[in-house]
Every structure is written in structure tokens, then in C-alpha cells.
A = this chain, B = another copy of it.
Amino acid sequence: MATVRDIYNYIDSFAPFGTQAEWDNSGLLVGDENKVVNKIVFALDVTTDVIEQAKKCSADLIVTHHPVIFKPVSSVLNDSLIYKLIENNISIICAHTNYDKAIDGVNDILCQTVNADRFEKIDDTFLNVAVFDNTYTTDEFANHLKIRLNGSVRYNNLNKNINKIAVCSGSGSDYLELAKELNCDALLTGDASHHSFLDANEMGIVLFAAGHFETEMIAVKPLLEKIENEFKIDCILATQNTPIITI
């Protein structure tokens, strides 16, 4: 019978928690490592709704990408997610930046999902560079992303040919300058702000913001399948949509 510790150790074997970014808080954040695990719920984020789903199906463990505790806490009151997890006797393991940069991790899955023909990791970063055999116009590539990632895409149209792109799931617009130095035609990420699009315009690089949810949620199921195969435990993908409606 697998325990929370066993699940943790297995994730650590392919996405070592020691490789997480300095500012990150991946790991077993709430719960009991000795607890026997009969059912696991997987989600991008832990929310009140995800906890409700875990409760309903009597899950012992939730595995998410985003950490349930980011800024250390000085109190734990009943409306907090931490409180609800403990109250319901559910542990939570968060595999964030360690899973982003892992082999076959979030960035690699994102490259595959958008049908890159080849990609490689850039050392000491959370960035991949992906190459396409075809050449797309900016609008064609935006439409390609919209279809492949199934969400709203925001971009600055520079009328460039796109066949080499930098790829960073989540909030990666700080990599604009590095992407430019690496001679990429574009940077593909999830979230980006007005000022990042202006910077991209001035730098002559296209910035595709294909959704924080859309660029990361695709990596949750592969994680579920890995763990299901390893442990033969009942693994359930939480019903979870992007929190953002775009009209």
C-alpha cells in the first residue's frame, strides 16, 4: 500500500524537488507523509471546489502544480484552503517549477502539444526553444495555438515568419530578452501584461500569451498517468476550467 511519502518520492525521482526555483514552495505542503493513499485527485490549482471534489470521492491526497502556500502564513483560519484540507484529512503535494523544467515536464509537454518538430532545454532556465519545419505567419501561428491549446490567445502581430520560438509555460514574459538573444521569432507563454506586449513590439519579437491555465493544465493528466501506472491507485482528474471567461 502506497503512502503519501511514496508518492512524493516517486515524483522526486523524475522531477526532483531540489531543482525548484529559489522563490518556489514545491513539496508536501499540508498533510501526513505516513498516510496510506487510496485515491488521488489531480488539479492545476487547489481551490475550494477541488477540495469539495476530493471530499466527495474520499480522496486522501491532492496533487497540484501550483503551491497551496506561496507567501508563508501567520494564521490559519477556517476560510483558508489549508484549514479545509486538514479538516477533511486530505494531504497535498505541489510539483511546480521542479515539474516545469523536468524531462517530459510542463515545458516539454507544451512543446509537444503545439506540435514542435524539435525542442531543447536552455540550461539554468525554465525555458525551452522549439523549432517547426513549417513556417507560419503570426496570425496563422496564433490560430494554430488557439486550436492546439483550446483557449483564447493574445498576441502582438508583427507580420513575422514564425518557425523558432521560445517556450515557457505560465508567466514567462521575463524571458523576452533572452528569447530575442536566442534569435527566436516569438515567445510562447501563458500570462502577459500590456507592458510586455509593448516591449515585445519595440524588440521586434512576437509574444503569444495562450493562457496560464491552457499552457499548464495539459501537463496534469500526464502526471496523473505516470503515478497511476506506478502505483495502481485510483487517480482522478479534477473537473477544472480556467477561472477566466473571455468575451
Contacts and interface: CB of A to CB of B under 8 A. Distances in A.
Nearest to A138: B245
B191 A29 contact: no
Q: How large is the interface on A (under 10, 10 to 19, 20 to 34, 35 or more residues)?
A: 35 or more
A16 interface: no
Contacts of A76: 29-30, 69, 76, 82, 86
A44 B25 CA distance: 32
Interface in A10-60: 25, 27-35, 45, 47-48
Interface in A91-139: none
Contacts of A243: 156, 194, 197-198, 200-201
30 contacts: A28-B75, A28-B77, A29-B74, A33-B77, A35-B78, A45-B198, A47-B202, A48-B202, A69-B76, A72-B73, A72-B74, A76-B76, A82-B86, A86-B86, A87-B87, A143-B247, A146-B247, A152-B247, A154-B244, A154-B246, A154-B247, A155-B247, A156-B243, A170-B194, A171-B193, A190-B194, A193-B212, A194-B243, A197-B243, A209-B244
